[in-house]
Amino acid sequence: MTKYVYSFGSKKTDGRADMKNLLGGKGANLAEMSLLGIPVPAGFTITTDCCNDCFFNKSRFPQGMEEQVQKALKAVENEMGMKYGDPDNCLLISCRSGARSSMPGMMETVLNIGLCSRTIPGLIKRTGNERFVYDSYRRLITMYSDVVMEKAEGIEPQEGKGIRAQLERIMDELKKSKGYKNDTELTVSDLKYLCSEYTKKIKQVLGSPFPDDHMKQLWGGIGAVFKSWNGKKAAAYRRIEGIPDSWGTATNVQAMVFGNMGETSATGVAFTRNPATGENKFYGEWLPNAQGEDVVAGIRTPNPINEATKMEQNRHLPSLEKAMPKLYKQLHEIERKLEKHYSDMQDIEFTIQEGKLYMLQTRVGKRTGTAALNMAMDMLKEKLINEPAAVMRLKPEQLDELLHPIVDPAAEKNAAIIARGLPAGPGGANGHIVFKAEDAVEWEKKGKKVILVREETNPEDVAGMRAAEGILTARGGMTSHAALVARGWGKCCIVGAGAIHVDSISKKMTVNGKTYREGDVLTLNGTKGYVYEGRLNMIDATENVNFKAFMKLVDRQRRLGVRANADTPADAATARNFGAEGIGLFRTEHMFYGENSEKPLFLLRQMILSSTLEERKSALDKLFPHVKSNIKATMKVMQGLPVTFRLLDPPLHEFIPQDEPQQKELAESLGIDVKEVVRRGELLHEVNPMMGHRGVRLGITYPEVSEMQIRAIFEAAAELIKEKIKAMPEIMIPVTCDVNEIKVQKKIIERNYKEVITKFNLKKIDYLTGTMIEIPRACLLADKMAEEAQFFSFGTNDLTQMGFGFSRDDIGAFLPGYLDKKILKADPFQTIDQEGIGQLIEMGVTKGRSTKKDLKVGICGEQGGEPASVKFCFKVGLNYVSCSPYRVPIARLAAAQASIEGAAVSKKPVKKAPSKKKAAAKKK
C-alpha cells in the first residue's frame, strides 16, 4: 500500500527536511522543526504523489488515502487533546498547500476548518470567547467559499465579481456604516450578522450552500488544495519560473492555533536576517489579536518585531520585544537555532495563542541580489558556511542587480506603470524621451539624459542607443537588435512594449490615449520591463565592497575560462574590469558602426562598390590604417591576453547607403554616376543573405579583403611588440563549412605572417589560427576542420539558426507560440538547446579533439553568458566561454558553480567504482 500520509508533531514525525519532493517544502520543514523539538502544532502531510494520483484519477482520492488520513487525524487529536467535530471539545484544522519550492501566494490555504453549527456552541463555552469564535467562523466562510467552492470548481468570475470580493464588500459596508477603521472593532453581533449574510450570499452567487458539516469541510479543503496546483495563478507562475507541472503540491493538515484569541495572542512573520539588505539582524512584523494572513495582507499596519530594526514609518508602533519580552526571547532563540541548523537565512511564520508560542513555517528566505551577496560573505566569516557554499548562494542572474543602477524599489511602489514590455536589458534608467538616434546623440552632447524610443531599432541607431540611458521599443523580442545591443552594453532596455504607438516623424508617442512628446520624462525598469511616467529615483547598486571579495572566491572555484565579446578599446577595458581573461570575439565590422565610423565606413563602401580589382585594392589600402589602429588599440588594452579577431562576417549589402546625399558623395569619389552606385548596390542584393555571400565566402571571392585584415592584425601586433607591449592575436575564420576554406585563408595568413616579421625584424609573433563552428556541416566534419584549425569557437547564434532552420530575424512570428504551446521548453537563442544543438557542440568537441588533443574550444554566441549554457559548456569540456562584458561576472559565477556541482556529483557514492580490494575479495 502506498504511504500517502506523513505525520508530524511532538509525538511522532515521519518526514524530514530532505523529503521536499514528496512532502513539499512546507511539510518537510514542519517535520524537521518537530524533530528539532521546536513547538509545532501537530498535523500531517499528504504527499505530492497523492496530488498527482488525484489528477490521474479524475479528481478522486487514490485508494487507501482516506483511511490513512483518518488514522493520522486520530494521532493529531490524541496529541492536541481534542477531537475533530466533537461538540464539546472540537479540534479545528487548517489545510495548507506546499510545493517542492515555494510559490508564494500562488496556491491556497484554508484556516479554521471544522467550525459548524455542531461545534460552535461548545467552542464558545470552552473558550468563553464568542467574539473569537465568530471571527474565526467568518474567516472560514470567506476562505472556504473562495478556495473550495469557487476556485477548485474552476469558476472564473470577472474582475471584482469573485465570491471573496463580494463578501469583503459586505464587511466593508458594515464597517463604513458603523464608522470602524479596523477589523478588531467588529463586535460579536457584527460578526454574527456577517456570517449569516455571507452564507446567504454564497448560496445566491454559487448556487450551493456553505457546508455545515465538519467532514465535508475536511475533504473539501484537502481536495481544493490539491486542485489549487492547477489554478490559473499557479500555472502561470510555474511557466515563468520554469517549474514542471509534474511536481504537484502536498497538502498539510494541521491543528489550528489561534492568534486571534485576544491581546495575549498574536501572529507574525520574520526573517533571520534582513532580506533586502542582508544585514544580520532579526527582522520581521507582528500583530496582536490577528490570524494568519493579516500581517501580509496589509489590513492593519503591522508592528516591528524588535527595537533594533524599527524604521521611520513604524517607530511609534510597539515591538514584540517590548510587548511580550519572554516570548520574544523564545522566538529569537528558535530563530537562531533554525538559521544555524539550515545554515541559511530563514523566513518564518509564528503564532502566539494566549501566551504560548508555536512555529508554523520555516523556509530558506528569498532575498535581493545585494542581500544574497552580503549574507554569503557574512556567513562565511561567521563560519556558518564554507567557500563553495558561499559561491552557491548567489544565483548568477542576481549579479546583474549589482552591476547596474536600479530603480529605487521604494519609489517604484507608489508609481503607476504606463506600459509593459520584455525586460531586455537589466537595470533602471530615467531621462527625456527622444525619437531619433541623432536626437539622442544631440541631447546627450548637451549633457541631458535621454531615453531613446523607437518602433524598433536597426544598426543605424547604434550611436543613439549608445548615447541614451535607456532604450524603449514598441516592437521586437528578447533577441531583437535593440535587445542584443543593449545587453552587450549592459544598458537598460525594454522591447516589444506593444501598448506604445511611436510616431517618430512628429516626435511623439501615445499610450492608452495619452500623448508624450520629445523631452517628456520617463523611467524604465529594464529588469522587469515596466515603463513609468516621470523621473523615479535611482540607486547605485555597485558600491558594494563585498562584490570584489566574492568574485575572488568565485575564481578560486572556477575552472572554465571566461572571455568577453568586445570590439572597442572601451569595451575591452570594461571587460577586463569585470575579470575577462581575453576577448573571445572581436567583430571587425564593428568599426564601421557608431562613433568615429564615418571615414572607415566611407572607405569600406568604396571598396564594396568597386568594380575592378585595382579599384578595390586602392580602397583597401586606404582602409588599412583605420583597421590596424582599431585592432591595435584593443590589443593594447588587453596587455597580452588573447584577442580573437573574426574576419569580416556580414553580407556586404548591409553597408550600402540608402539615402541620396551619401550615395552622391560615394558616386563622386568613385567617379561614377549616382545611378551606377544604386545599380551596383542592387547587384549585391540577396534573397537569403543569412545564408548568402558572407563570412569566409567573402574571403574566398575577394582574398584581398582577408589579406588586408590579416595584415592589419599582424602589423598591429608587431608594432605593439616593438613598443614592448605583449600581444596575443587569434585569427578566426567565420562561417566555414569545409576544411579547404580554412586552407585557402591559412595560406594568406602564413604569407603575411612571414612578411610582417621580416618587415619588423621580429623573431616571432605568438598567434593562433582557428575557425568559428557555426554551420552543422562543420560539426559533422570537425575532425577534418581540426587538421587546419588550432582553435574552434562555437558561434551558437548561427549554429542554432541553421540547426533549427529558424531564421533568427524572423522568430518573432512563431517562437512565442512554440513556447506557449510548450513545443519548445525555452528560446534556443537565449539558452543553448542542450538536447539538440548541444549534440552538435559535443560532436564538434569530440571529433575536433580526436584530431588535435589540445584543441582549444570556446563559444562566442549570445548564450555564452547565460548561466545554464555556461554550465553546459563546462560539462562538455570547453576551455572558455565568451560573452558581453557586463555578463562576464555572471559567467564567472555560473562557471564556478558548475565546478562545485560537478565535484558534488562525482562525490556521490553510487558513482564510485568498487575498490580494488573489494573487487578482488568478491572474485574469491
Q: Write out the catalytic residue numbers.
A: 481, 860
Q: Which does 105 bind (CB under 5 to 8 A by kind): Mg ion, ligand ADP, none?
A: ligand ADP
363 near ligand ADP, rule: CB under 6 A:
no
Contact partner at residue 351 from ligand ADP, Mg ion, none, CB < 5 to 8 Å by partner kind: ligand ADP
- Candidates 120-128, 549-557, 591-599, 793-801; binding stretch for Mg ion (CB under 5 A): 793-801
- 254: contact with ligand ADP by CB under 6 A: yes
- Nearer to ligand ADP by C-beta: 183 or 349? 349
Angle (nearest 5°) at CA 251 between 249 and 253: 165
Cβ atoms 470, 424 nearer than 8 A: no
268 binds ligand ADP (CB under 6 A): no
Calpha distance 64→53 (Å, rounded): 12
Q: Is the dihedral of CA 623, 628, 633, 638 positive or negative?
A: positive
**Please, which of residues 683-712 interact with ligand ADP by CB under 6 A?**
none
96 binds ligand ADP (CB under 6 A): yes
- Applying CB under 6 A, does 142 fall inside the site for ligand ADP? no
Number of residues that bind Mg ion (CB under 5 A): 4
Q: Where are the alpha helices (DSSP H) in 242-324?
A: 294-297, 320-323
Q: Are 343 and 386 in contact (CB under 8 A)?
A: no
Residue closer to Mg ion (CB basis): 456 or 589: 589
For every residue of 138-152, DSSP letters joined together read: HHHHHHHIIIIIIIT
111 near ligand ADP (CB under 6 A): yes
Out of ligand ADP, Mg ion, none, what residue 795 binds, judged by CB under 5 to 8 A for its kind, is Mg ion
Cβ contacts of residue 180 below 8 Å, gap of 6+?
A: 174, 186
Closer to Mg ion by Cβ: residue 222 or 860? 860
Judged by beta carbon, residue 116 or residue 373, the one nearer ligand ADP is: 116
Question: Residue 182 CB, nearest distance to ligand ADP (Å)?
Answer: 18
Should residue 293 be labelled a site residue for ligand ADP when binding is judged by CB under 6 A? yes
Partner interacting with residue 798 (select from Mg ion, ligand ADP, none; CB below 5-8 Å by kind): Mg ion
Antiparallel, parallel or unpaired: β 249-255 and 43-46: antiparallel
Closest approach, Cβ 363 to ligand ADP, in A, equals: 9
Give the interface segment with ligand ADP, choosing from 83-91, 105-113, 420-428, 769-777 (CB under 6 A). 105-113
From 795, 803, 828, 865, residue interacting with Mg ion (rule: CB under 5 A) = 795
SS (H, E, C) 878-895: CCEEEECHHHHHHHHHHH
Cα 873 to Cα 73, 786, 861, 882, 892, distances in angstroms: 51, 19, 12, 11, 12
Residue 471's nearest CA partner among 522, 417, 397, 400 is 522
In sequence order, which residues have a C-beta less than 8 Å from that of residue 408 and are 6 or more positions away? 536, 537, 538, 539
Applying CB under 6 A, among 7, 13, 48, 94 the residue interacting with ligand ADP is 94
Nearer to Mg ion, 774 or 866 (CB): 774
What amino acid occupies position 357? L
Please identify, using beta-carbon distances, which residue of 361 and 557 lies nearer to ligand ADP: 361
Report the 10 Å Cβ neighbour count for 768: 15
In eight-state DSSP terms, residue 353 is: E
Check: CB of residue 235 under 8 Å from CB of residue 243: no
Q: Which of Mg ion, ligand ADP, none has residue 357 at its interface (CB below 5 to 8 Å by kind)?
A: none
Rank residues 287 and 620 by Cβ distance to ligand ADP and give the closer one: 287
Q: Which does 94 bind (CB under 5 to 8 A by kind): Mg ion, ligand ADP, none?
A: ligand ADP
Residues 742-781 that bind Mg ion (CB under 5 A): 774
> Which range touches ligand ADP (CB under 6 A), out of 104-112, 532-540, 542-550, 656-664?
104-112
Stretch that binds ligand ADP, among 135-143, 255-263, 778-786, 800-808 (CB under 6 A): 255-263
Q: Given candidates 129, 361, 796, 879, which one binds Mg ion under the rule CB under 5 A?
A: 361
793: left (phi over 0), alpha (psi -120 to 50) or beta: beta
> What is the 3-state composition of the chain as percent helix, strand, coil, each rounded to the nearest 5?
50, 15, 35
885 binds Mg ion (CB under 5 A): no
* Binding range to ligand ADP, per CB under 6 A, among 232-240, 252-260, 442-450, 881-889: 252-260
* Contact residues for 461 (Cβ-Cβ < 8 A; gap 6+): 437, 452, 454, 482
CB closest to Mg ion, residue no: 798
Return the one option of Mg ion, ligand ADP, none that residue 254 interacts with (CB less than 5 to 8 A, by type): ligand ADP
- Taking the least distance from each CB to ligand ADP, the nearer of 96 and 432 is 96
Tell me the C-alpha to C-alpha distance, in Å, between residue 849 and each of 31, 490, 559, 845.
Answer: 51, 35, 19, 6
293 binds, among ligand ADP, Mg ion, none (CB under 5 to 8 A by kind): ligand ADP
* Contacting ligand ADP within 558-587 (CB under 6 A): none
860 torsion bin: left (phi>0), alpha (psi -120 to 50), beta (else): alpha
CA–CA separation, 272 and 367 (whole Å): 12
Closer to ligand ADP by CB, 96 or 626: give it: 96
Would you count residue 45 as binding ligand ADP (CB under 6 A)? Answer: no
Contact between 108 and Mg ion (CB under 5 A)?
Answer: no
The Cα–Cα gap between 359 and 876 comes to: 46
- DSSP H or E segment with residue 431: strand 428-434
Is 36 in contact with 57 (CB distance < 8 Å)? no
Residue 96 touches which member of Mg ion, ligand ADP, none, C-beta under 5-8 Å by kind: ligand ADP
Q: Hey, how many other C-beta atoms are within 10 angstroms of the C-beta on 748?
A: 19
Question: What is the number of other CB atoms lying within 10 angstroms of the CB of residue 190?
Answer: 20
- Please choose, out of 52-60, 103-111, 496-504, 764-772, the segment that lies near ligand ADP by the rule CB under 6 A: 103-111
Residue 288 or 464 with smaller CB distance to ligand ADP: 288
Sole binder of ligand ADP in the list 41, 600, 729, 803 (CB under 6 A): 41
Q: Does 798 bind Mg ion (CB under 5 A)?
A: yes
Torsion of CA 704, 707, 709, 714, to 10 degrees: -160
Size of the site for ligand ADP (CB under 6 A): 16
- The residue among 632, 662, 656, 647 whose CA lies nearest residue 590 is 647
| 349 in contact with ligand ADP (CB under 6 A) | yes
Q: Which stretch binds ligand ADP (CB under 6 A): 15-23, 248-256, 446-454, 553-561?
A: 248-256
Residues that bind ligand ADP (CB under 6 A): 41, 94, 96, 105, 109, 111, 254-257, 292-293, 349, 351, 360-361
Residues that bind Mg ion (CB under 5 A): 361, 774, 795, 798
